[in-house]
Chain A
Amino acid sequence: MSSRPRASGYFRTDYAADYALLGTRSARIWVALFSLALLLFPLVASPFQLDLACQVFLASVGALSLMLLMGYAGQISLGHAGLIAAGAFTVGILFRETNAPFWLTLPASALVGALLGVIFGLPSLRLRGLYLAVSTLALHFVVIYIGGEYETRRGFSTGIMIDPPQLGSLSVTDGRAWYFILLVAAASTLLVCLNLLRTRSGRAWRAIRTHETVAETLGIGIAAYKLLAFVISSSITAVAGALFAYYRGFVSVEAFSLFLTIQYVAMVIVGGMGSLLGALLGAAFVTIFPYVIESALLALPGAQGFASMLFAVNYAAFGLVMILFLLLEPLGLVGIWRRIQSYFLLWPYRHRPAAGAHQ
């Protein structure tokens, strides 16, 4: 499927092996160990670390959907925060107006996301590249405006409070419960994305991304697949927004600024375009980054003076890191990982054979 070098002696001998998600035995072992670690984590983690992990899972859902759209289907979208806001506001509005339970609001969010996906995706039928990005940006502002209007009209100028989701008489407030819920959400999103990419839609998206005109001459319905990419991606993003609303218990328009969109785009870029693993790595990196900066800052002497500047330092550091990645390692963290992998696999050769060089 991909042109990555593999250790020699690795052969696929039947179709089942070709389709398998985890091809080699070592891959299976590593995934099993990792899953075990994830499951046992809450037993040893502090509440702060649990919260951090929950944030990473939440971010992963959004990052995976954006990776699907940008990294695989090749459609640039700068409206991600608007879609998250849409999902969160759906939950907020439904909860406030009708006191709907979570098993109604979540599908409603998905539906709203899908609808918005159609709207966000319509420009992609006529526009490409920069113009598409601009149209999604403009739509983001429109969505934010509508959300803001709702807040002011209905008197929620500081934001909408939401009760935690109820299941009968149990309400989900415990950090550990949230950990597992969000873990399941992230894992299922990953599986959905992986499988989508291995089907006809995934191949169509890759074709569209590589060369749209040629894809069309091969009989791939460009319009349908582009819209499909937008709809699926927006739907997942809206659900992420809904989960975000329940997790925080609070929805307000200020949380969904352009900076949030850029954070998600950074997750995709820093992680590595065109790779679901990249989305996960990027989500983890961008989520944990501010906390690392904060601890680094507090470790410096004269820390008190800096504390008030924390937000600005975050901004500046974030911009700097993004620039460094774009300049030095455009393939992102996954690129770094693959380079390390290639080094060991190809040694003593230094470069991959010419056939794969253009990828």
Chain B
Amino acid sequence: MQLAVNIIVLAAIYALLACGYVLIYRVSRVMNMAHGELSMLGAYLLFAAATVFAHHPIPALIIAILMSISTGVMVYVVLMRRMTGEMVLAAILTTIALGILLRGLVVLIWSASEQHPLQSLGFTNPSLAVFGGARISTCAALIVLMAALVYGSLFGFLRFGRWGVRMRAAGQNPLLAAQRGINLHAIYALAWSLSTLTGSIAGMLIALDSGLDQSMVVIGLKAFAPALVGGLDSLLGALFGALIVASSEVLAIHYVDPLLSDVVPFLVLIAMLIVRPWGLFGTREELDRV
């Protein structure tokens, strides 16, 4: 039973992080390799806000969230906007470079030691008892809740609205989208801010649950596998992908070898690439009439 709880928590973490990849890819065909670092930045922003507003959790949270959204918009406006129209490879490399830059900056500003924003905010993280004798920490339960909330709102916004179609259209043929009245810059900025927001929420919750240091980028990188397994431009796919990868990882750690935890997501990824490269629910992109 504890296994099931662990799977759900890990799946929620992966899902929250994966939807950030999906949002940006859907709209601009760019793989944001700096997502892990941006999520980590969000967590550090929360820590900074928490130290300034010690014991005033609500203003600290609000400020941290606002700062994350503006970071996302700034990253687009200052950096990625100049990359529209260039080769996708160049855009991906730019995000990789951005990730490296952020990693260095975070250590310079906040030092490499582990931080505990939970203490600064004045919260505690008691362990709750769930059915079947399993236990879950409060923060982990919050993560699951947030994942459900985020996905619910995103689905409402995208799937059942024209804007989901327009975001995909902008990703497929930016010039035509512009010629059909879609404001590309606005849509890209929107995607980047949403992506950074969801990533930062994930980062903040993880930091509250288990402390904060640079190892968070590893989780960000591993979360890339669920995004791809589900289909890079499908939110529903990200959800399913998160469940699949989380189950494989938790089961592998439990029954086979704890060291496998970093490799299992990539093994699942390779398997999916062999069988069905465009993922469970992604759009097949090899359609081009020469």
Contacts and interface: CB of A to CB of B under 8 A. Distances in A.
Interface of A: 76, 123, 126-127, 129-131, 133-135, 137-139, 141-142, 145, 148-149, 152, 213-214, 258-259, 262, 265-266, 269, 309, 311-320, 322-323, 326-327, 330
B92 A131 contact: no
A262 B96 contact: yes
Contact of B82 (A266, A322, A327): A327
Interface hub of B29, B92, B228, B266 (most chain A Cβ within 10 A): B266
A137 B221 CA distance: 10
Interface hub of A142, A148, A214, A326 (most chain B Cβ within 10 A): A326
A127 B102 CA distance: 30
B31 A319 contact: no
Contacts of B52: none
Interface stretch (B83-91, B167-175, B241-249): B83-91
A141 B262 contact: yes
B100 interface: yes
A127 B273 contact: yes
Interface stretch (B53-61, B104-112, B141-149, B155-163): B104-112
A130 B277 CA distance: 11
A134 B269 contact: yes
A75 B228 CA distance: 19
Contact of A316 (B92, B93, B101, B260): B101
Nearest 6 Cβ contacts at the A-B interface = A316-B104, A319-B101, A315-B104, A319-B100, A322-B97, A312-B107
A313 B104 contact: yes
B174 to A, nearest CB: 16
A326 B104 contact: no
Contacts of B94: 323, 326-327
Nearest to A320: B101
15 contacts: A133-B92, A134-B228, A137-B266, A138-B267, A142-B267, A145-B263, A312-B108, A313-B104, A314-B104, A315-B101, A319-B102, A320-B97, A322-B96, A322-B97, A322-B100
A293 to B, nearest CB: 11
